[in-house]
Amino acid sequence: MRALKMISTSPLALLGGHVLTMNPLSAPLALAGIRHARLPLGFAVLALLLASGALLAPFALPILPPDAFLRYQASTGVQPPASERLAHAALPQHYADMFGWDEFSAAVSRAYASLSSEDRARCVVFGQNYGEAGAIDVLGRHQGLPRAISGHNSYWVWGPGPEEPAVMLVIGGNDAEHRAVFDSAAVVDSVRCQRCMPYERGRTISVCRGLRVPLRELWPRLQHYI
């Protein structure tokens, strides 16, 4: 991830591998590039390297609560690089992408509970991206949700499954897209998350029925890589 480059290019990260293989007592001297010198100089260099790593660590690892991180980011003036061309959240993407998945699972669970037992028996969930599909497969497993499918990245490789669904709970998309593929589509819920990426906020959950084309025939058209 691009956000990790700030840490991976810091002096501490570049020399960290060497430090771990050294005697702790000789590491400061080796980092200073000298073999025979006064110890205070070596320890001063090591302290400088540790300080630089500690300064940048919150930009690569979620070690601070969101509000504390935003205050820290403002105080340092450091802006993490963007890793996508879409709209960005206040938090860096690698941090914002950790939010919203419980809300996705809960919204789909409510939609699933509204179906009849016959519909639930032949239902799948479609996610617009692997994050949404993964949230259903991981978090929704304990809520009794059906498997999720998606045409995004490696999720497409896993295919649409062996059975033709009678009902599909579609995350995101719009009414025109749904009605081009299904006989009927109705929005029954939406996702509300504050810290997640902007394009994940307000995603609708639609109950779609009557695929106009068998899912296996439709599947090649759903493939997309980002």
| Residue 21's pLDDT band (cuts 50, 70, 90) | very low
pLDDT value for 20: 42
Count CB neighbours of 132 within 10 A. Answer: 26
- Phi (first) and psi of residue 130, to 5 degrees: -70, -25
Residues 91-139 have pLDDT tens digits of 888 888 889 999 999 999 999 999 999 999 999 999 999 999 999 999 9
Angle at 99 between CA 93 and CA 101, to 5 degrees: 125
Q: Is 18 helix (H, G, I), strand (E, B) or coil?
A: helix
What average pLDDT does range 188-195 have in this prediction?
93
**Maximum separation of any 2 CA atoms in the chain, in Å:** 80
Give the separation between CA 10 and CA 16, rounded to whole angstroms: 10
pTM of the model: 0.72
Q: How far apart are CA 181 and CA 49, in angstroms?
A: 57
Residue spans of the domains in the chain: they are 2-84, 101-222
Q: Is 214 helix (H, G, I), strand (E, B) or coil?
A: coil
Dump pLDDT digits (tens) for 45-104: 777 778 777 777 888 788 888 888 888 888 888 776 666 666 667 888 888 888 999 999
Rg of the chain over CA atoms, in angstroms? 24
What would the pLDDT profile of 152-191 be if each residue is shown by its tens digit?
999 999 999 999 999 999 999 999 999 999 999 999 999 9
Beta-carbon contacts of residue 66 (< 8 Å; ≥ 6 apart): 91, 95, 195
Check: CB of residue 3 under 8 Å from CB of residue 93: yes
| CB-CB contact of 147 with 123 (8 Å) | no
Phi, psi for 200 (deg, rounded to 5): -95, -15
Do 73 and 62 contact (CB within 8 A), yes or no? no
Alpha helix locations (H) across 65-204?
66-76, 93-96, 101-113, 117-121, 130-138, 154-157, 175-179
